[in-house]
Amino acid sequence: MSDKNDHILEEVSNAEYKYGFYTDIEMDQAPPGLTEDTIRFISAKKNEPDFMLAFRLKAFRHWKTLKEPDWAHVEYPPINYQDLIYYSAPRKRPKYDSLDEVDPELLETFEKLGIPLDEQKMLAGVAVDAVMDSVSVGSTFKKTLAEHGVIFCSFSEALQKYPDLIKKYMGSVVPYTDNFFAALNSAVFSDGSFAYIPKGVRCPLELSTYFRINAANTGQFERTLIVAEEGSYVSYMEGCTAPIRDENQLHAAIVEIIAHKDAEVKYATVQNWWPGDKEGKGGVYNFVTKRGICKGENAKISWTQVETGSAITWKYPSLILQGDNSVGEFYSVAVTNNKQQADTGTKMIHLGKNTRSTIISKGISGGQSNNSYRGLVKTSRKAENARNFSQCDSLLLGDQCGAHTFPYIDVGNRSSIVEHEATTSKISEDQLFYCLQRGIDMEGAIGLIVNGYAKDVLSKLPMEFAVEAQKLLSISLEGSVG
């Protein structure tokens, strides 16, 4: 009854609105503030199907009833959600004409990461000359995928071309009611990516290289949706090792992964949002909800993340092991330096029988940063013989940083086994001197030690990203030890 009322209300207001801002549709930006009008503006701007707008509005109405969470181990000034701009059109024109105009510090970092010149240009928003034809690179890529029936496109494109798939899966793993930031994202999300692997298909390409080039344009509220049908396989890599500066301070993304029976998804992410200056000013707040579900029997999701950026990170990727015999793996490295704050962790929810999971989390803190890890392992009453092994290690690089581990274990039946190990260690003066004495300078020594410490996780990344991630860890920790 009330649903129906809602619907009517929506239609009426929608219609009014469409008319109301018809003249404004050419605007590249929504005016600051967040109202139902803003949401209608976004949806209309993107020419979305009706169900999408309805979903957004429901999420928005729910969001208004929520309070921002304050339990995390992070501190930041209150965000005025009415001051933010929720939509701006993707930049069609390059920001700069040549690399000479780009901040030299950023270029230096690109150099250190070994990013090819052409990619540097794309990442920095410089006009690219004809030598590198990114469009054709993209299209060969797309052709190969199409031959296998794999869909890999932007969320907006998917909404136009595959609305039924989106309708079926969007919000099925992370409902808009999940939390404050998930509700916000569901109401105002700008764009994102969609990957769909049909039944029995082994995705012939790692869904990564291409993505990286585009990553610089990702918006403030992204959504990723990955669906692996029965017996399929995909390795999906998102994010970017290059530092991403963004005038938008608040980022609240959603990632949903669905693995059906016998399917395997390898999801890897490297995130390096701008952490702000040494005082932590101007850095990105990254409040993300990421979740995967092993829906069918024998499904497997393996999750690897390397996190070095953001002024504040609030992130608890979780895996739901619903199918019997399904497997969840979670490998994470989180680095905080200077004044960065991170409150991250993972949730492993065992629902099916004989489900198995592994969590390896490596926190690295330098400067005056704060790195908290929360891990929840839950086995339900029906999850007979469920097994989990968790290893949570913290590495401190000085005396002024902090690491905190909060394990939560909730075992719902007698046959499941949950093991948890935690260690905290410090880079010792002895280790550093040992390296120096072999001719390796301080920076190199820290890089080497930290990468050794994180090896178990880095080795899970696709090769090319592993190499970049290694460099990234070293760079992120420059100046972290007195």
Partner 1 sequence: MLQIKNLTVSIHGKPIIKGLNLEVKEGEVHAIMGPNGSGKSTLASVIAGREVFDVDQGEISYMGKNIFDMPAETRAREGLFLGFQYPVEIPGVSIANFMRTAINEKRKYLGLDPMTGAEFLRLMEEKKKMVEIHSKLTNRSVNEGFSGGEKKKNEIFQMAMLEPRLAILDETDSGLDIDALKVVANGVNKLRKKDNATIVITHYQRLLDYIVPDFVHVLLDGRIIKSGNKELAMELEEKGYDWIKKETANDAV
Task: Output the smallest distance, CB 445 to partner 1, in A.
Answer: 8
Output 64 or 438, the one with its CB closest to partner 1: 438
| CA 186 to chain CA mean position, Å | 15
Task: Tell me the longest C-alpha to C-alpha distance in the chain.
Answer: 76
Rounded Cα distance between 310 and 48, Å, is 31
Output 254 or 445, the one with its CB closest to partner 1: 445
Per-residue contact track with partner 1, 442 to 461, x per CB under 8 A? x-x---xx-xxxxxx-----
| 76, 431, 462, 467: which one binds partner 1 (CB under 8 A) | 431
Q: Under the criterion CB under 8 A, does residue 470 sit at the interface with partner 1?
A: no
DSSP tally for the chain: helices H, then strands E? 14, 18
Output 10 or 443, the one with its CB closest to partner 1: 443
Please report which helix (H) or strand (E) contains residue 196, including its range.
Answer: strand 191-197
220-259 positions binding partner 1, by CB under 8 A: none
Task: Output the smallest distance, CB 118 to partner 1, in A.
Answer: 25
Q: Please name the residues in contact with 74: beta carbons below 8 A apart, sequence gap of 6 or more.
A: 312, 314, 341, 342, 343, 370, 372
Q: Which stretch binds partner 1 (CB under 8 A): 206-214, 259-267, 414-422, 441-449?
A: 441-449
- Please identify which residue in the block is written with the tokens 């039944």: 199
**Both tokens assigned to 453:** 């410490």
Dihedral angle sign, alpha carbons of residues 441, 443, 448, 453: positive
Output 68 or 111, the one with its CB closest to partner 1: 111
Q: Under the criterion CB under 8 A, does residue 428 sit at the interface with partner 1?
A: yes
Q: Which stretch binds partner 1 (CB under 8 A): 17-25, 232-240, 350-358, 439-447?
A: 439-447
Rounded Cα distance between 259 and 299, Å, is 6
Task: Output the smallest distance, CB 289 to partner 1, in A.
Answer: 31
Q: Are 335 and 447 in contact (CB under 8 A)?
A: no
Q: Under the criterion CB under 8 A, does residue 481 sit at the interface with partner 1?
A: no
Q: Are 482 and 123 in contact (CB under 8 A)?
A: no
| 22, 96, 408, 434: which one binds partner 1 (CB under 8 A) | 434
Judged by the rule CB under 8 A, the positions of this chain that interact with partner 1 are: 428-431, 433-442, 444, 448-449, 451-456
